[in-house]
Structure 1
Amino acid sequence: MKDLKKKSLAATIAINSALSMSGVAFANQELNTQGPTLANQSELSTSISIDEMKEISRFFNQPENKVKIQFPSDKTEFAWVNMSKFYPSVQVPRSGQVSTLPYAINKGISGVKYLNNRDGKEITVDQHFETKPIDAMVVVQDGSIVFERYKTMRPEDKHLWMSVSKVTGSTVMALLEQEGKVDVKKPVSHYLEELKGSVWDTVKVEEALDMATGLNGTEHDEPNPDARTNPDQIWYRWAATQEVGLVADVRERNESWDAVLRAMERTKPGHQKFEYNSINTFVVNRIVERVTGQPLYQVFAERIWSKLGMEHDAYYLTSPSGNTLGFMGVNSTLRDLARFGMVFTPSAEQLAGEAILSKNIMNTLHDREYINQYPDGFIGEKFTTSFADDAGKISNRYQWDAVTSEGDMYKSGVGGQGLYVSPSTNTVVAWFSTGDGQDQEESMARAIVQSIN
């Protein structure tokens, strides 16, 4: 197999916008100015033999290797566009007529530069595609696609969002809050009875939404940075439960999710420090399900996905016990990820015929009351560097990893997945990668937004 597909994009296609919606491909030698630039067939992560596919399936289905599907490799390059081979899944159905995203390709985007700290120099979007393990990226401005390029996948391939998935449940939570069905100032245990009598009696729902519970068992801020790989860490123990099933229960503890969470302890007050933890997302998603009486995938489909004229159904991964894995498990095509991002922009009305999110909800997402919690944690330090021009002015809110002083919103995922939304300029940048998350696609996205607005 190819080593993260670091070769240059050797062939692209030119098709009009109508044909591009169908995924038809024709060979050409130039970057397309009328529609998407598609990958060379030989560069596709799915262009491998049946024997190689079977070997990847055997590898990840071995208990000791299941944890490795979280991290980039030649094997995950295939797995991340075929996750239904490795986990149970549930569909998120689309509905209605497909919403049109007309093409208005901006050729200048390929030459936009940003400072890549790994290379120590400014590089262009083209150079990023030529030298970094990015799978695809699309830019939508004022409801039109101004850039769309694929390197290792096709427009119809459904790629794993990883933690970009987290903002699906938090967005539903914001809708429930607006309707008075959830009070985010109440403790988590008010909604999840299994956690009553534990430290979660002292954790507000809002603190879980903002990744600032002050509890131990974090994902990146442990004394030893091995939360996702050490079977004795709280995070791993939670991930190994039947209700999650992300990793193998190699210690054979057979714990329940609530037993692990009840054992967590307070280390600092809430909303003091941004400490990233998928356990918080899991809690938020369970509250959504208790309040609505529906599984997360169904609520998300009815309230958001089905309203946007998506091209395809999406799907969530589920645990062995049937829980929707909303903290990492959404899979969709690239353009449909961008459509989801458009929910947070004025273009939502173009897709849905209505503003799905009220002005009050957007004001909540942009609220900066807890800005002081941001810079000291693992994720805050990282994105303060990525968005150095806005250092000291960045906050995080409702599962979004960064909300800039202009109100731009960014959500990342393991391996370099990303969604950058600029409501004030009506621009969305969405991308998939199979990297280590250190290639600063988020810096590139910010530079693109700033260059075209």
Structure 2
Amino acid sequence: MKKFLQTCCAGLLAAAAVVSAESATNGYLRDVADGYAAETAYQLRASWSLPKFLTVTPEGAYSYLHLAENFPHATIYRAGPVVELPRKPERWVKTQEITWQDKKQQFHDLITAQDSPLQGAVVIHRGKVVYEEYPGMRPFDNHVWMSNAKPVASLLIAQLQEEGRIDVNKTVADYLPAAIGSDWEKIKLIDVLNMQTGLDLEEGPEQRANPNSSFARFMVAEAGLPNVDGVRETHNQALLAIVKLREPGSAFEYSSANTQMLGLVIEAVTGQRLADVVSERIWMKVGMEGDAQLGLSPQGNGIIHGLISSRLMDMAKFGMLYTPSWNRVSKARLVSEKALNDIRTGGQPENYPRGVLGPKLQKLFAETPRANAYQWDAVFHDGDFYKGGMNGQGLYISPEKDLVVAWFANGFSPVPMEKAARSLALAL
């Protein structure tokens, strides 16, 4: 039995580690831009599995738009009038030339190419929608954010910090009694926010493919599956079992486990479920077009590190909260000047190349970001910042240029959208 579980777990994790340019030939996406036929939907749902969700498959593409059919979800509620942003298409966005590895391609051609996995892209400049395209989804579809959801947790922490309810220089155990006795106990919240805890939790292809890794155990617990030892842990048990590897503050070690810990701290401080906190503090205060959804683990935890689903325009409106045009979508300023400054000046530049993700993003952007900070993957020297999600989701913010670029996909594009978004900002 143990050998069987090891084989299943190893297969699941190996599949999760497969995210390559070759797998991004998703012509089938172009066939579903207007929705799925009923029989097709039934078939894709019936053959869904976690590996097919984590890698690039027709079943995965379907579930990215209908994740509540596969995971239990809580609702993140909207309220009040919908803010209709003015549409003013600008030709320079469509024709902006993206140069990457001796290739040149215009922005619009990148989005709409037949072999592109891009399902939707929105560009907002000075509060106006200057580009909007949905080659693989409908504007009203709720699409999973994947790790683009991580800054939602960091924004909630920043709000609680300004209210005096959280001090990011205090430890996890100061707010979460369950962490006492674990290796999380003495980790400062700022090190969790900046993904430099020193714990054995880094998230990358090697860790996903190794069923004995702490991150792999965390991932299978999230899905309600038994680990390599045949034990079915709760999400929190797997999270709190992660052990110390090195001293905090020494490397940028990207991991969804960090964000999940922030979620537990937020619930402990507020006494509310995460979905309710996001509803009341963010979603209901912005003129969103629709309700969002938050995926739940089998024990009921909100999976704040990745399983938020919403319309693309609403994710872009979340991005606008970090720009001078925040007042186009919200009466109250939800991202303070201090919170914005913490992102743009925080992090430790010397730690950025020490880990898996930093060097990867240096290559994708063809430049070296200043650092990572507050759950954002890349903060540039000019103050722009970016967050990405598995299989090609992205959110790029330029406060200085009052620019938001947001996109959904089901696979990494042969020409990275990271480079494309950065090119738009630099062209202004």
TM surpasses 0.5: yes
List per-residue Cα deviations over 1:109-159 (Å, max 9, x = no partner). Answer: 111122234xx4122213312142111100001110000011010101111
* Separation of aligned partners in 2, 1:169 and 1:368: 16
Q: Which amino acid in 2 is paired with 1:318?
A: L
Write the mapping of 1:149-164 to structure 2, written as runs, cut at 5 A: 149-164=133-148
After superposition, residues 177-326 of structure 1 pair within 5 angstroms as 177-220=161-204, 225-241=205-221, 244-245=222-223, 249=227, 251-326=229-304
1:27-426 alignment, distance < 5 Å: 42-44=31-33, 46-50=35-39, 52-60=40-48, 65-117=49-101, 120-129=102-111, 130=113, 131-220=115-204, 225-241=205-221, 244-245=222-223, 249=227, 251-368=229-346, 370-389=348-367, 391=368, 393-426=369-402
Find the aligned partners of 1:211 and 1:195 in 2 and give their Cα distance: 17
For residues 27-52 of structure 1, the C-alpha deviation after alignment (integer angstroms, 9 at most, x for no partner) is xxxxxxxxxxxx97x442733451x3
List per-residue Cα deviations over 1:344-398 (Å, max 9, x = no partner): 1111112112321211111111124512111232111111122234x2x521111
**C-alpha distance in 1, partners of 2:193/2:225?**
24
Q: Contact 1:317 / 1:325 at 8 angstroms: preserved in 2?
A: yes
Q: Secondary structure at the match of 1:421?
A: strand
The amino acid of 1:232's aligned partner reads: N
What corresponds to 2:5 in structure 1?
none
Distance in 2 (alpha carbons) for counterparts of 1:83 and 1:257? 19
Q: Which moved more, 1:85-94 or 1:350-359?
A: 350-359
State whether residues 421 and 429 of structure 1, in contact with CA within 8 Å, keep that contact through their aligned partners in structure 2.
Answer: yes
Shift of 1:437: 6.3
Instruction: Provide the rounded CA distance (Å) in 2 between the counterparts of 1:283 and 1:439.
Output: 33
Q: Is 1:446 aligned to residue 422 of structure 2? A: yes
1:184 Cα offset (Å): 1.1
- Provide the TM-score with structure 1 as the length reference: 0.84
Of stretches 257-266 and 192-201 in structure 1, the one that deviates more from structure 2 is: 257-266
Ranges in structure 1 where 5+ consecutive residues have no aligned partner: 8-38
- Offset, 1:183: 1.2
The alignment yields a C-alpha RMSD, in angstroms, of 2.1
Distance 1:75 1:284 in 2: 31
The answer (yes or no) to whether the contact 1:162–1:329 under 8 Å persists in 2 is yes
Distance 1:329 1:213 in 2: 23
Identity fraction in percent: 32
TM-score under structure 2 normalisation?
0.89
CA distance 1:294–1:263, change in 2 (3 Å)? closer
Give yes or no for contact 1:346–1:355 (8 Å, CA) kept in 2.
no
Structure in which a larger fraction of residues adopt helix: 2
Tell me the distance in 2 between the aligned counterparts of 1:262 and 1:93: 30
Give the drift of 1:226. Answer: 3.7
Give the count of matched residue pairs: 404
Q: Following the alignment from structure 1 to structure 2, what is the Cα–Cα distance between the partners of residues 369 and 431?
A: 25
Q: Secondary structure at the match of 2:109?
A: helix
AA paired with 1:270?
A: P
Given that residues 224 and 232 in structure 2 are in contact (C-alpha distance below 8 angstroms), is that contact kept between their aligned partners in structure 1? Answer: no
What is the deviation of 1:58? 2.2
Q: List structure 1 segments (4+ residues) > 4 angstroms apart after TM superposition.
A: 246-251
Indicate if the aligned counterparts of 2:148 and 2:389 stay in contact, CA closer than 8 A.
Answer: yes
| Residue aligned with 1:202, SS | coil
Alignment CA distance shift 1:48-1:151 (3 Å) = same
Cα deviation per residue 1:186-227 (whole Å; 9 max; x = unaligned)? 11122222221222223111111111111113212xxxx343
Mark the CA change 1:438 to 1:216 in structure 2 (over 3 Å): closer, same or farther. farther
Give the drift of 1:438.
6.1
Q: 1:350 to 1:287 in 2, by over 3 A?
A: same
Partner of 1:410, secondary structure, is strand
1:231 Cα shift? 3.1
Tell me the residue number matched to 2:6. none
